[in-house]
Amino acid sequence: MWPIRWVLKPLVFLACLIPALHIGLGALNAAGVLHIGAVSLGADPVKVMLHTCGRWTLNFLMIALCMTPLKDLTHWVVWLRFRRMFGLFAFFYVLLHFSVYLLLDQSGKLGDLWQDIVKRPYITIGMLGLLLLIPLAVTSTAKAQRRLGRRWTRLHRLIYVISILGVWHFWWGVKKDIREPLLYVCGLTLLLGYRLWKHRQSLARVSVARFARTDGA
């Protein structure tokens, strides 16, 4: 399957970098290094950088969560080969989101950051989501997967909790217009609901099988 590894994967990888490229060029524009109107981030570039990175964190979490349902639907296993990349891009964008917040929005003041984490619930849960993503990113290698075995699967179920925290953070952060966070809530409900439904189905199958066995005995 060399075309997947050497063609499709690199193309998807590059596509995932487009938002970061936009933010990077926009930042250079805002700093006066570049003068390209097309990548302008407007009057408040810091806010645009912050929100774009936050949105793409959620987008990549959602995309990563789509891979299993797509596999089930299409019976193509190839989807699962992209799951790690999307998960790691979620981590990449949340790190950018956090860096913009700390260095540009809060002028790098760690004391103010700590105050925000302690006093503001939406920042507390956002921060918790970021911290929980770290062990997943660290154990994303094939080697770690082999070494941890079944514990790896259990550990990586944290992605469900992290996605909920992320969407919740967005919901609580908006001033008034909740239409956009509501879209993420709907998407996440579908994606997590699907897993719950599948889990119940498999439980039902197991109990039917057991019943059948006892009946036969």
Partner 1 sequence: MRKRSADPAKIVPSDITPYQQYLSRRALIAGGLGFAAAQSIGGFAGVAFGQPAAALTYVRNGALSVADAPNSYTDITTYNNYYEFGTDKSDPSENAQKFRTRPWNVTIGGEAEVTGTFSLEDILQPHPLEERIYRLRCVEAWSMVVPWVGFPLGDLLKRFKPTSKAKFVEFKTLYDPKQMPGQRAAVLEWPYVEGLRIDEAMHPLTLMAVGLYGKVLPNQNGAPLRLIVPWKYGFKGIKAIVSIKFTEHAPRTTWAGSAANEYGFFANVNPAVDHPRWSQASERHIGANAFGRRQPTLPFNGYAAQVANLYNGMDLRKFF
Q: Round to whole Å and give the CA distance between 168 and 165.
A: 5
The answer to the question of residue 150 lying near partner 1 (CB under 8 A) is no
Tokens 């009946």 locate to: 215
Three-state DSSP class for residue 10: helix
The answer to the question of residue 46 lying near partner 1 (CB under 8 A) is yes
Among 35, 143, 146, 179, binds partner 1 (CB under 8 A): 179
Residue 11 host element (H or E)? helix 9-16
**Pattern 66-105, partner 1, x by CB under 8 A:** --------------------------------------xx
Among 70, 120, 124, 171, binds partner 1 (CB under 8 A): 120
**Beta carbon nearer to partner 1, 35 or 176:** 176
Tokens 């590894």 locate to: 5
Contact 19, 56 (CB under 8 A): yes
Q: How open is the CA angle 20-24-28, to the nearest 5 degrees?
A: 170
Among 19, 45, 54, 126, binds partner 1 (CB under 8 A): 45
Binding residues for partner 1 (CB under 8 A):
27, 30-31, 42-47, 104-107, 112, 115-116, 119-120, 122, 172-173, 175-177, 179
